[in-house]
Amino acid sequence: MSAPTTRIRIWDRPVRLFHWGLILLVALSFASGKSGAWTLHYASGYAILTLVLFRILWGFLGSENARFLHFLKSPLAAFRQLGRLTKRDSDTETSHNPAGGWMVVVLLALLLTQAFSGLFANHDPGFSYSQHGPLALKVTEATSESLSALHLAVQRYLLLAIGLHVLAIMLYKLIKGHELVMPMLTGEKLLPEGAKAPRLASGRLALGLLVLAGAAVFLFIRFF
């Protein structure tokens, strides 16, 4: 007989919109970069940088279970979590599990590096206006070349991290029976009865932080 469960709201709307919006933007950025649609590529890069800065702010000021201090455990705890991957058990998490928490940090760091380096990158030896980042001409050519190389290198690590993230979600579903996708769509999750719902922050705070992040990106590009 299965233990009684209750449906709890664990993911706020800002986190869910950030998550799915970021997926779309990363796909758009990758496709536009491959096709040479640089105007679209830079626009998606600005949006990614804004969302990543928002998520960092939300990680300190947002909902209880979205805060870094709430879900970041020791690396040892993350390895122990991965070591229990083959054990089928009940899902009791109201936030990211220890391994997932570190993956969040890795992905945010890679996305931040990717978007920031793209501001200074160039894609053509002639430095034509349509083929360089908005700040490429504000630094030396050597610096721009170095950041262009970093931009390309981080892309490979980012794709690897995304692949591992998707693989982990699939394995948790197939092996452990944990559903991780639907809660990120609906915000709700079936948990053992008695589980405590996390405190969720207001949407107005999220909107204010998003505007702040967008303003920071705009001002940096405008006045660097």
Cβ 48 vs Cβ 21: under 8 Å = no
Cβ(45)–Cβ(115) under 8 Å? yes
Residue 217 half-sphere exposure toward CB, CA atoms < 13 A? 24
Whether this prediction's pTM lies above 0.85 is answered by: yes
- Domains of the chain, residue spans: 5-223
Non-local (6+) Cβ contacts of 220 within 8 A are none
Tokens of 79: 């390895």
**Dihedral of alpha carbons 99, 102, 108, 112, sign:** negative
- State residue 2's pLDDT score: 60
Q: Say which amino acid occupies 31.
A: A
The 3-class SS string of 97-125 reads CHHHHHHHHHHHHHHHHHHHHHCCCECCC
Closest CA to 220 of 18, 15, 20, 45: 45
Tell me: the pLDDT tens digits for 159-217?
A: 999 999 999 999 999 999 999 999 999 999 999 888 899 999 999 999 999 999 999 99
pLDDT at res. 210 = 98
The pLDDT score that the predictor gives to residue 129 is 46
How many whole angstroms separate alpha carbon 224 and alpha carbon 211? 19
Per-residue pLDDT tens digits for 106-146 = 999 999 999 999 999 986 654 444 568 899 989 998 999 99
Which class would CATH give 5-223? Answer: mainly alpha
